[in-house]
Structure 1
Amino acid sequence: MKDYINEVIKLTDLKQNKPINEIVYEGLRTAIIKGIIPVGERIKETEYSERMNISRTPIREAIKRIEDEGLVEYIPNIGVIVKKVSKEDVEEIFKIRIALETLATTSAMKIMTESEFEEMHQLLKKTEEANSRNEVKAVIDLFSEYNQMIYRFSRMPRLDHMVTRLRDYLARFRDISLTGEARRRKALDEHWIIYNIMKDKNYDVVPLIISNHLDYAKSYIMQEIEKIEKK
């Protein structure tokens, strides 16, 4: 069995200048969302406490917060286990994502400078080069950088703060949706389309393009979840 707790410990740097309960919560939450702790795995409060050399209180508080988010569930006579990603989770996250990305894109395109458009253009070219070499991880990382760039260029710090809480979820979905070569190619083509629309200040089509772009990604993820459920 893989040592999941050791991976959680790596994510939980107790030297950070934060309350210990917040550090434990963030580390455990990230490990669950990124799939380091797999679906169905039981989270044993005592074992984590002993291995991390801390009291059970911050572990218990972290588990409670994560349970409130719907990432784990308590099952009588078994304990707390990691919940699977459901189709309902995907639907909800993508509805939120469409709304936020439409707002970020329309806000950014109104105020972006020529140098910022050039920065985006160079990033897309870099992504093309990585994709041509079939460097999947690099392409996925660059897609994430592209999305973050739009939020940064929107100059809406509160909006960026709101989406920060979603980024771990989105990273998990993004990794699923971009494993296929054809899907990566289509996603990259769509990023070019969004770039051109932003540069041309074509505000009217932004909601439709963003919605279509993300709906396609959502459909791909739904298909992958169905495959997993049939195994």
Structure 2
Amino acid sequence: MADDEAMEESGAEAGRATAATRSELAYVELKRRVLDNAFPVGSFFLEQELADLLNMSRTPIREALVRLANEGLVEIRPRHGMRVLPISPEDMREIYTILTALEAEVAAEVAARGLSDEELATLRKAVADMDAALAADDLDAWAVADAWFHRSLVGASANQRLRSVISQYWEQAHRVRMLTLRLRPKPVRSTQEHLALVNAIEARDPKLAWQIHRTHREQAADMLAEILSSHRLTNL
């Protein structure tokens, strides 16, 4: 009898774990599609459509949608569906205000402390990849190299909590960056600013590194907000 009860309890725990895994998989996949704009801003999907798309039941889909709604990415609508929320210039400015302040602190921190030759080489390789992508007119490759640069820079910070907070806002900024990637001017100046930042870090000049990175992010925020407004991407 005891063995039967233990087996039943073990089976129940396994079932809960499997359900949690399905919910997590649904969350990760749906979030990826929203952030990459595979689900365009303003688009509407029924729960059943999403369940069919991911080959799951509606329960893990529903749980995933609640998490995405709490993150401000989607709105749960009547008739058990969801709508991808629009992005406003005001939202973008708020996100970039936070990123600007925190990433500039990281730039100053790593410049004051100094980076290893390997860490500096990683940043320089990212800049070289940006240059190569621009030469090939490959904006997708440029975006990948740009993201790699910023992740490598922040990853060099000794402040784990700072890294964690920045990562959360990166996800929100990513959707707009990909949405506007082909609407912005060719990011030649942005690439040059990345190189200037690496040089300041290598020179162990925290004040200059802080200023370069802050200006870089402020200009990006202004540009993205202007694109969102001028192309009416907030009205979808």
Give the TM-score band, short-chain normalised. Answer: 0.7 to 0.9
Distance 2:21 2:79 in 1: 32
Q: Secondary structure at the match of 1:73?
A: strand
Bigger Rg, structure 1 or 2: 2
Distance 2:194 2:186 in 1: 12
Q: Deviations over 1:160-211 (max 9, x none)?
A: 3333333332322333555367441110111111111111122123333222
| Residue 57 of structure 1, CA deviation | 1.5
Distance 2:53 2:125 in 1: 45
Residue type at the aligned position of 2:211? L
| Residue 77 of structure 1, CA deviation | 7.2
**Taking structure 1 as reference, are residues 210 and 41 closer, same or farther at Cα in structure 2, changes over 3 Å only?**
same
Q: Does residue 215 in structure 1 map to residue 224 in structure 2?
A: no
Q: Does residue 108 in structure 1 map to residue 132 in structure 2?
A: no
TM-score by length of 2: 0.79
Q: Does residue 121 in structure 1 map to residue 139 in structure 2?
A: no
Counterpart position of 2:54? 52
Q: What is the correspondence of 1:4-153 to structure 2 with a 5 Å cutoff?
A: 19-75=21-77, 79-109=81-111, 110-153=113-156
Q: Deviations over 1:143-172 (max 9, x none)?
A: 111111112222444433333333332322
Q: Secondary structure at the match of 1:229?
A: coil
Counterpart position of 1:185? 188
**Larger relative contact order (CA 8 Å, sep ≥ 6):** 2
Number of corresponding residues: 216
Identity percentage of aligned residues: 23
Distance 1:212 1:224 in 2: 18
| Residue 84 of structure 1, CA deviation | 0.8
Residue type at the aligned position of 2:143? I
**Taking structure 1 as reference, are residues 179 and 51 closer, same or farther at Cα in structure 2, changes over 3 Å only?**
closer
Q: What is the correspondence of 1:189-208 to structure 2 with a 5 Å cutoff?
A: 189-208=192-211
Q: Secondary structure at the match of 1:19?
A: helix
Counterpart position of 1:175? 178
Contact kept, 8 Å, 2:104 with 2:211, in 1: the verdict is: no
The Cα RMSD (Å) is: 2.7
| Residue 104 of structure 1, CA deviation | 2.1
Distance 1:134 1:51 in 2: 33
Q: Secondary structure at the match of 1:80?
A: strand
Residue type at the aligned position of 2:30? L
Contact kept, 8 Å, 2:107 with 2:210, in 1: the verdict is: no
5+ residue gaps, structure 1, are 1-15
Counterpart position of 2:13? none
TM-score by length of 1: 0.80
